[in-house]
């Protein structure tokens, strides 16, 4: 049997909510960036951890602000 799709990502079984999820993330990031103080950056000495597979994501990211 030839299965030609990745669940929630590609082919005939593409997740119907993916466009809404991307739009929600875009709005959330825009609103967050509009409200946090300027001068934020990655915390020195830390590493951003990610996961892969058929979808990429960030597990953790540590930020600091200049106050």
Say what the pLDDT of residue 54 is.
Answer: 66
**pLDDT above 60 for 8:** no
Do 50 and 57 form a contact (C-beta atoms < 8 A)? yes
Q: Tell me, yes or no, whether 8 and 23 share the same domain.
A: yes
Same domain for 30 and 58, yes or no, is: no
Token pair in block for residue 44? 């020195």
Whether residue 1 is found in the same domain as residue 27: yes
Closest among 3, 13, 4, 9 to 54, alpha carbons compared: 9
Same structural domain, 31 and 59: no
- Chain centroid to CA 15: 16
Segments forming the whole domain that contains residue 50: 39-67
Quick one: pLDDT at residue 31? 93
Two tokens, residue 30: 């825009």
Average predicted confidence (pLDDT) for the chain: 80
* Number of domains observed in the structure of the chain: 2
pLDDT score of 44:
92
Percent of the chain with pLDDT over 90: 10
């Amino acid at each position: 049997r030839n299965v030609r799709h990745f669940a929630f990502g590609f082919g005939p079984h593409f997740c119907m909510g993916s466009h809404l999820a991307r739009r929600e993330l875009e709005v959330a990031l825009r609103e967050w960036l509009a409200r946090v103080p300027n001068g934020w950056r990655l915390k020195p000495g830390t590493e951003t951890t990610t996961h892969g597979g058929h979808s990429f994501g960030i597990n953790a990211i540590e930020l600091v602000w200049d106050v």
